[in-house]
A and B are shown apart, each in its own frame.
Chain A
Amino acid sequence: MIIALTLAATAWQDPLATTQASEARRVAVVARCAPAVCSVMAMDAPGGGSGVIIDPAGFVLTNYHVVGEPDKDWKLLVPAPGAAELATWKQKNPNAGEAEERAFAEAWQTAWRTEHAPAGTRQYKNKKVGLPDGQLYEGVVLGIDPGSDLAVLRLLPKREGQTWPACPLGDSDALLVGETVFAMGNPFLLATDFTPTVTFGIVSGTHRYQEGGGNRMLVYPDCIQVDAPVNPGNSGGPLFNEAGEVVGINGRISIGDRGRVNVGVGFAIASNQIANFLGDLLAGRHTEHGTLDMSAWFMGSRNGNEPVQQRRGVFVQQLFKDSVAALAGIGLGDEILRFDGTEVRSANQLATLVGVLPAGAWVTVWHRPALADGGFGDERRVTLRLSALDTGSSFDTGEDAWLASRADRRLATAGLLARWTVADEPAGAVAWSAINPKEVPHRAVADGERLLLDRGDVVLVREGAGRGFAREGDRVRELTADEAERLRREWTCNPMLWQPAVARTRLRDALLVGGVHVHGAPAYRFALPGEGDCEAWFFADGSPAGCAFRDPLRKARVERHVRSDQLRFVVDGKLEPGWSAGKRTIGTADEAWFRRQP
């Protein structure tokens, strides 16, 4: 017995066995990840970087500095209808003349343009993307994030319905100093057959803030520091954790006196930051980073002069008078206590917390106003919307902010829906409530085509498409046109009232329009066809995140940001404070609600 125990203990501690086991694990992870790592090169220029496929539909993540700036001499080449298509048309219209044939071709080209032309006026020439299978693909630059050096490409398939090996994004906030990581890519473009180079190391530091550097001044607001060798050519390549998830994109190295090569200090853009911008990137946008337009300053204790706990913290050092922070009531010298619930302990950390968020994100800041006598007032909580940071790398947003075509966005939408992991719910009516600042619940119940909106004083009921009534107290009346439209829009785009199966059907004709930051988590905005700018919002796992539409009753665009019981109600870009959400439940609807005569 004793011998057996000793043997077991020895086997457990046998360093060779342990090493071999960990090596086998490592080899397996590398073998699984390597097929998704690619080389990204320009069509007609030397050099290049790396990338990683993050979706089987062929979406590739890489660095902005790998794809560079939009090509000035880019022109859209509109193809003519194919010979087969023309022949089919001629068969159907045997007597058509030349003019009619030209008209057909023009109509075909207009349709093609609507679907395939990028919405903006700027565009990239396609990139060459080499995969470890030895194949060279064309990659369309979909979205760029110059603020933190990211870009998304879409691979053009070589056959119908082609999918690619992909690696999912991991949780970079779970990374710990000392954790094993692998960097993959094509340093110095060593591999002419595109098999990636694998380097191994540990996480040397997390949440590092790296100021703008290089000729494009790309800021790395929240990066992972690694000692895995990262060299020129590794740019845009993935950093994997031991589970083979992409936890970062390697983009930058610190260099000492040794020239442009590795000194054991590499920086990867954290995957959680990437997730915050993925919606905009996949939708084919030029993303914008958020800013408070202020800088903070950390004051440590000055030993010997003052009691340690006094005047120790993060204070506002510089502030634009018209910045969102100033408009929300934050002043010079104020102490910043918390940002979106996270304790602020250093100026770097505040820069990190803000830097990873997209412009337009709503955040909550807790501060103590500085008083004239040198003291501080009571703690205040302000909710504000981050403005856009001018990174110096941006080109004009607006029309030029779109790089993708409708076809690209259609693909992105399908790719995102395919990744949803929501559990199946029992069938039934869905009820959800929003509680307004006066604590009156606004209740909504959806049952198939039917919808009930109970706002306390008025109950609007939709019995089906185009039919419905309103009830005020005991009085029942017909819907006004605006009320009917309001019901339709609510029914069309409020995902809180949809079951997962319904959601997939409803989003069949939807198009991804970008990302949105909902109570600290990234979500995706899907535009639905029809009047009213209706958008349904979902988190990455497929759970509902809110909606937006033009409300005909309020004559304003309203947004609901929902995450569990948290609800932000935004009307024409202004926050209406005091709202919260009730629980979403599924059950059987009371038939009496949908009857005109109770």
Chain B
Amino acid sequence: MRNRSLPLQTLATAVATVAVLTGASTVLFSLAIAAMFALTFAVPAASQDFGKAYSFAERAPGSQVERTIDTLLPSIVKIHGASGLATISAFASGILVSKDGHILTVDQIMLQPERTRVVLYDGSVHVATLLPADDRLGVRLLKIDPQQVTGELRPLWPGADTSFRTGQFVVSLGNCFRLAEFSEKVSATFGVVVGRANTALRYRMTDVKYDGDIILTDACNNPGHFGGGLFALDGRWLGLNLKLIDSKETNTMLSAAIPLTDLLPYLEEHVRGKPRSAAAPKGDPAWLGAVLFEQAGRQSPPAYVERVLPDSPAAKLGLRNDDLIVRLDDFSIRTCRELREMLGKFRPGQQVKVTWKRGTEVMTGEVELGKEPSR
């Protein structure tokens, strides 16, 4: 019936023919209606409306999960960045957080100025500018020009309740494996919150900079899915999908997200211009007094001691030049950065057990951490 352009006369002939056979006026009437429809559909669609994602023959969303996903999908964007190295995946997801075109995503190497493109749910492609990243969180805001967007921008903003419970059902949205292109819908996966964990877990340091608690979930997180969102079934936004956390030691992988509460101050500052409340440091950081050997150009140098400062806790321990610090209490240390971050969790005066390697020998000692002397 659709897209037929029949001259009305033809149909009139048909009507006459059938009427001869049956003499039924109802047939005449129904055919007349058919003719009207034929004409309605014969009008070519003149306007090129790219304002909504295509669907083939989808029904209206019914269940709560379907409704939630349907509502949230327009806020999830596809991000394409600089590529070149096989090890760098050049695609990710992001979440639209303002009508001004702010997009929240996980910070990564592929996000380069001029080379970062954002694809909205309507299939339109926009070059994004980069706003300052938050190194502690490992997230970054992108911005597109809202003037260039013809469709409606449907941003998400953290709600009053961003709490989550272990065992609660969640839906995770993101463009995993870059399966969706242009206006195609990004992927949705379903799961439960498995628990909350601390990122003192060890994983590839280049992947995730975030050092707070994370939401663990069994809703699958694959390459490209990160930067997308984790949502409760009622549509509440709970977190920002992280890259897959991968442990080479145990050969396990975890899907995780940063809880939204931790992201709010960053969003408030860069999207709404509210200065972050200067969080007062909870006291001075702990000081060991070992100067580390940070080789230039190496991404994650191991924590080799280059020099031990006199009268420092390190000196009291008996650390020497070329010792390799491998453990603080029960936490293994693989890089200089990990050692610095771990020390940041201690306060002066705390006792700490240090394990180090000297040649082939492993040595252990316990010492009270100090405070860095003012210069």
Contacts and interface: CB of A to CB of B under 8 A. Distances in A.
A312 interface: yes
Given A176-B59, A565-B34, A433 B14 contact: yes
A263 B219 CA distance: 10
A491 to B, nearest CB: 18
A216 interface: no
A257 B150 contact: no
A583 B18 contact: yes
A582 B17 contact: yes
A254 B306 CA distance: 47
B134 interface: no
A413 interface: no
How many B residues are at the interface, by size bracket?
A: 35 or more
B131 interface: no
B220 A178 contact: no
Interface string A160-198: 000000000000011111111000000000000000000
A348 interface: yes
Interface string B39-60: 0000011001010011011110
Contact of A348 (B13, B124, B171, B184): B184
A265 B177 CA distance: 9
Given A176-B59, A178-B70, A348-B181, A256 B244 contact: yes
Nearest to B127: A303
Interface stretch (B4-12, B288-296, B333-341, B349-357): B4-12
Given A174-B57, A301-B125, A207 B184 contact: yes
Contacts of B24: 585, 587
Interface residues of A, number: 65
Interface stretch (A101-109, A337-345, A476-484, A521-529): A337-345
Interface string A232-259: 0000000000000000000000101110
B190 A431 contact: no
Interface stretch (A287-295, A438-446, A463-471): A438-446
A204 interface: yes
A86 B47 CA distance: 76
Closest 4 CB pairs of A and B: A264-B220, A300-B125, A582-B14, A178-B66
Interface of A: 173-180, 201-208, 225, 227, 254, 256-258, 263-265, 298, 300-304, 308-309, 312-313, 338, 341-343, 345-349, 364, 366, 379, 429, 431, 433, 435, 439-441, 443, 445, 564-566, 580, 582-583, 585-587
22 contacts: A173-B57, A176-B66, A178-B65, A201-B190, A202-B189, A206-B56, A207-B56, A207-B184, A227-B191, A263-B222, A264-B220, A265-B176, A301-B126, A303-B148, A345-B183, A346-B54, A346-B184, A348-B181, A431-B21, A433-B18, A439-B7, A585-B22
Given A304-B148, A312-B50, A435-B13, 16 more contacts: A174-B59, A178-B68, A206-B58, A254-B176, A254-B177, A254-B179, A264-B189, A301-B148, A308-B150, A309-B48, A348-B182, A431-B21, A439-B9, A441-B14, A585-B22, A587-B24
